[in-house]
Copies of this chain bind each other. A is one copy, B any other.
């Protein structure tokens, strides 16, 4: 019956109230207007967005499930802030999943390397021009390309959730870093491995790249992290 309908269908459907609220909060976090650790109260958003408390509550829960916020009973929600230990834990999981994504996506990306090549070119340009914010965005898109082409939606979702809670730290690293060239060199190497269809090297390259990202994040000053409970 509905064979014609909504195969690609991005934003055709009328966005629900909850989705609108969730998008607004997400945008605020991405834009730095809400910073990690900051507490969000329901009333603040009911007033500002003109929606009911129910909708705000549900948006909060949804974003908490996405890893962007963290909810505590009777204490409301805050923008997720990771401790150094949690960053290490996250990167252990991320390493395992990103290498899996590389492995699964390699055939697809090797067969149709167009988007990868194009993205690599943009990354090179941004790195050369020193446009850090733009490089950070492209870096996200680069990793997205792999998990999207892994042909495993569950893997994609799981990785996306992890990276959601990592967004801010990753962004800080890119902006503060005096040397994105090393990061970009790793991208180039990985891209080359894909082009050569060298699975083993590609996996190793991704693993090293993720480890580098971890080290860069851990090199940020303490005030970017939640206190490590211990």
CB-based nearest B residue for A66: B65
Q: Of B90, B93, B152, B162, which is within 8 A of A92 by CB?
A: B152
Q: Of B16, B61, B99, which is within 8 A of A58 by CB?
A: B61
The 0/1 profile, CB within 8 Å of B marked 1, for residues 36-64 of chain A is 00000000000000000010011001100
- Output the least CB separation between A104 and chain B (Å): 7
Query: Is A113 located at the chain interface by the 8 A CB criterion?
Result: no
- Output the least CB separation between A186 and chain B (Å): 21
CB-based nearest B residue for A18: B73
Query: Is A76 located at the chain interface by the 8 A CB criterion?
Result: no
B89 close to A153 (CB less than 8 A): yes
Copies assembled:
2
B62 close to A155 (CB less than 8 A): no
**In whole angstroms, how far apart are the Cα atoms of A61 and B22 in the complex?**
15
B61 close to A152 (CB less than 8 A): no
Query: Is A137 located at the chain interface by the 8 A CB criterion?
Result: no
Query: Is A212 located at the chain interface by the 8 A CB criterion?
Result: no
- Output the least CB separation between A99 and chain B (Å): 8
Q: A16-B73, A54-B54, A73-B16 are in contact. Are A154 and B62 (CB under 8 A)?
A: no
CB-based nearest B residue for A74: B16
A89 close to B154 (CB less than 8 A): yes
A154 close to B86 (CB less than 8 A): yes
A96-B96, A154-B162, A158-B158 are known contacts; what are 10 more A-B pairs with Cβ within 8 Å? A61-B62, A65-B65, A89-B153, A89-B155, A90-B154, A93-B152, A93-B154, A93-B155, A96-B100, A97-B97
Q: List 21 A-B contacts (CB under 8 A).
A: A54-B54, A57-B58, A61-B61, A61-B62, A61-B65, A65-B65, A89-B155, A90-B154, A92-B100, A92-B104, A92-B155, A93-B97, A93-B100, A93-B152, A93-B154, A93-B158, A96-B96, A96-B97, A96-B99, A154-B162, A158-B158
**Top 7 A-B pairs, shortest CB-CB distance:** A65-B65, A89-B152, A96-B96, A96-B100, A89-B154, A93-B155, A61-B61
